[in-house]
Amino acid sequence: MIIKSAEFTVSNTKISKLPPCVLPEYAFIGRSNVGKSSLINMLTGVKGLAKTSQKPGKTQLINHFLINKDWYLVDLPGYGYARSSKSNRLEWAKFIKNYLEKRESLQCVFVLVDSRLEPQKIDIEFCCYLGERGIPFILIFTKADKNGVTKAQKNMALFRKELLKYFEEIPQMLLTSAETKFGKDQVLMFIEEVNQTFEVPEIAKTEE
């Protein structure tokens, strides 16, 4: 897939105010500081499309980006950021869960995991949450350039082993680097393949 256009559409916390469910969409989420914004910018080829920051918890809204006028890339707030108030964290969790569980046009969640780290409890728990609710997801391991591919693959194997305690079948795993663009083609190829099978949800047809 070649990205010809990528444009910001809307930021919101309310599902009712998001774009109509007539195009497939793919959500990106992970622990704070996992490199989500950098990965999104690398995939789209648009520097600064998603705002990067050294401060965790930068993304606090559901951000929709229209890609090739054909599908949506959705930037979700990171989980596990502790510096906001408890009430804010609960509110964020509520609208993220509402989106993940109720968004009819959501095709897949890309769960971003830092390839430099051994399995983290919070990542495993989030994968289990998605699995329990039947929400399709794959794992995107980031920052492959930081400690080398061999070390990254070792941590991926440990993550797979940990997931096998909870899953009969492990979701697809892809290794990426925003710096070197490693894994870009595989991620976009996955999206392109899913796009070909997308059907507009019935709820969207009735809203038109």
Q: What is the CATH number of the domain that holds 130?
A: 3.40.50.300
Copy the structure tokens of residue 36. 């989500």
- Is the pLDDT score of 18 beyond 50? yes
- Is the pLDDT score of 151 beyond 50? yes
Residue with the two structure tokens 């780290």: 117
| CA separation, residue 8 to residues 5, 107, 121 (Å) | 10, 19, 33
**What amino acid is encoded at 158 in this protein?**
L
Give the per-residue pLDDT at 12.
85
Give the per-residue pLDDT at 204.
61
Percent of the chain with pLDDT over 70: 87
127: in domain:
yes
**Measured distance CA(43)–CA(112) in Å, rounded:** 14
The dihedral over CA atoms of 54, 57, 61, 64, expressed in degrees to the nearest 10, equals: 40
Give the per-residue pLDDT at 7.
92
For the whole prediction, is pTM greater than 0.85? yes
Percent of the chain with pLDDT over 90: 69
Residue 73 belongs to domain spanning = 6-207
Mean pLDDT of the region 90-95:
71
Copy the structure tokens of residue 94. 């509520």
28: in domain:
yes
78: in domain:
yes
Give the per-residue pLDDT at 58.
47
Cβ(172)–Cβ(138) below 8 Å: yes
Where b means 16+ CB within 10 Å and e means fewer, 185-197 reads eebbebbeeebee
1: in domain:
no
134: in domain:
yes
Give the per-residue pLDDT at 93.
75
Pick from 102, 110, 26: nearest CA to 63: 26
Give the per-residue pLDDT at 92.
65
Cβ(41)–Cβ(178) below 8 Å: yes
Residue 150, class by beta-carbon neighbours within 10 Å (0-12 exposed, 13-18 middle, 19+ buried)? exposed
pLDDT in tens, 25-82: 999 999 988 999 999 999 998 877 876 544 444 457 889 999 999 999 999 988 865 5
Compute the mean pLDDT over every residue in the chain, rounded to the nearest whole number. 87
* Residue 40, C-beta contacts closer than 8 angstroms, at least 6 positions apart: 28, 49, 50, 65, 73, 75
Number of residues that make up the chain: 208
Domain count, the chain: 1
**Measured distance CA(109)–CA(147) in Å, rounded:** 25
Mean pLDDT of the region 12-22:
88
Range in 12-16, 52-56, 106-110, 198-202 the model is least confident about: 52-56
